[in-house]
Amino acid sequence: MIQDIYPHELHIGYEYHRSATETDCAVLIQDGKILLDEENHVPTFLQLGISPENATYLFMMDETAYYLIENAVADDHFHFEQPGTFRTVEPRHMGFAGITAVQLANFYHRNRFCSTCGAPLSPRESERVLYCKVCGRTVYPRISPAVIVAVTDGDYIVLTRYAGRAFKRYALVAGYCEVGETPEDTVRREVLEETGLHVKSMRYYKSQPWSFSETLLLGFVATADHLEQIKMDENELSYAMWVHRKDIPDYMGEASLTREMILAFRDGTL
């Protein structure tokens, strides 16, 4: 999966007082796109020819820190790309660092002012949080929990395709946890809402940070009756069918939790 970057390591801890150097990476977001070099990597301050002063610390990947900057003059060696580019950037740790940087950059860009009183928000030295000096409101980076569910029965699994989206490859039942809802309750509700199937049992598989949607994905394997008729929610899905493991194709897209779970089921390891 995209976060499987060993032996590289993401150090997400907050280091407010760390001083940026010219070999650190400079994260620049404009109109929802991020500035990248010719290899689709986040450029360094040295590459951009700008000073690292007054940049906002984000995190470290191995020994290289990533900082948020507000502006830069870039030449033809740099270009702006949609964050989705990081789904396939190699080496993988560079793609993971890039999309993690986008999520944190969005946090700072979207929270410049207090939503309670309108005063400017300020960073706190002790932790990654923005707070209002006037009314005391605090804002943390948003992480939304969601479930990915492999609905199975014997040699069959429910494969879906999203409705109204550019992504046309196979997917699994998925959805966000609602207020007051456990992930297990979300599994039962989403499976019933999207397919009309009733979950008989479930087990947790593994998780994945998915910064493309600011989500923490929680993977589950749920058992249902493949003889039960699927009643697809056409507002959410364009396709939902029981598929035999031998009919699952080899290519399932980028390094996502969905892909791993589908291929693990096909290979008998889920």
Total domains in the chain come to 2
Are 139 and 121 contacting, i.e. CB atoms less than 8 angstroms apart?
Answer: yes
Each of the 270 residues of the chain gets a pLDDT tens digit; together they read: 899 999 999 999 999 889 999 999 999 999 999 999 999 999 999 999 999 988 999 999 999 999 999 988 778 899 999 999 999 899 999 999 999 999 999 999 999 999 999 999 999 999 999 999 999 999 999 999 999 999 999 999 999 988 876 666 789 999 999 999 999 999 999 999 999 999 999 999 999 999 999 999 999 999 999 888 899 888 888 889 999 999 998 765 668 999 999 999 999 999
User: Virtual CA dihedral for 188, 158, 260, 145, nearest 10 degrees?
Assistant: -30
Specify whether 42 is located in the same domain as 104. Answer: yes
**Backbone torsions φ then ψ of 224, nearest 5 degrees:** -140, 175
- Beta-strand pair 215-223/144-153: parallel
Query: Do 259 and 153 reside in the same domain of the chain?
Result: yes
**CA 118/CA 112 separation, integer angstroms:** 9
- CATH classification at residue 228: 3.90.79.10
CATH code of the domain covering residue 91: 3.90.79.20
Supply the range of the domain harboring residue 94: 10-110
In Å, what is the CA distance from 12 to each residue of 15, 21, 97, 98, 155?
9, 18, 10, 13, 40
Name the β-bridge partners of 157.
Answer: 152, 243
CA atoms of 55 and 78, how far apart (whole Å): 19
If you count them, how many residues does the chain have?
270
Cα separation, 214 vs 99, whole angstroms: 10
182 plus 239 within the same structural domain: yes
Task: Assess contact for 1 and 40: CB atoms under 8 A.
Answer: no
Q: Is residue 119 part of a domain?
A: no
Same domain, 104 and 153: no
Give domain status of residue 49, yes or no: yes
